[in-house]
Amino acid sequence: SDMVFVEENVMQSIADMLGNGFSALLMHDACPDADIVTVERNPVMIEPAKKNLREFGAEDKIKMLIGDAVELLPTLDGTFDLIFIDAAKGQYPVFLREAERLLADEGVIVADNVLFNGMVATGIPDIRRNKTIVKRLAEFLRELEADISLKTVILPISDGVTVSVRTGTKER
């Protein structure tokens, strides 16, 4: 089974001391035979993430792509059983299109922070610069709902998480 992770600055939301690559390492721990691809664009986090992969002996199972996920995801081939999205919120619609392309039949897409402090539900951003993020996250949720090949639930935990399971075959 294969997994792809679109994550950025994950550790800042969990704990600065952990370094980056945390989500990918947790998945590796849960599924040690899975091949995992993770994307990191923050230059400050690249070396700590590489160090963590070495220290946990996961370098051979976790491939780290360095750069912007918007540019890197279209270069991926094959299918993935699990795709975890926790990155630039304003790019979630782009990530979803790529996730749908890469997702295996019966695969799962998990997206974190989809409610953006409740602003997506109200449609009212706290500050002007969050207006586009709120709009794009709402678009992301509408696209998930409209995709008849996916069965999606929104879990109101933390800042909102969607879990989408491919229940039908999608033309790829």
Nearest to 156 by CA among 107, 131, 121: 121
Digit-by-digit pLDDT tens for the chain (172 residues) are 445 555 543 333 233 333 467 788 888 888 888 888 888 888 888 888 888 889 888 888 888 888 888 999 999 888 888 888 888 889 999 999 999 999 999 999 999 889 887 888 888 778 887 899 999 999 999 999 999 999 999 998 888 999 999 997 665 4
Residue 28 contacts residue 52 (beta carbons within 8 Å): no
Round to whole Å and give the CA distance between 38 and 61.
11
Q: What is the pLDDT of residue 13?
A: 29
Round to whole Å and give the CA distance between 119 and 69.
24
Residues in the chain: 172
Angle, alpha carbons 107-69-152 (nearest 5°) = 30
Query: Is the entire prediction scored with pTM above 0.85?
Result: no
Q: What is the pLDDT of residue 52?
A: 87
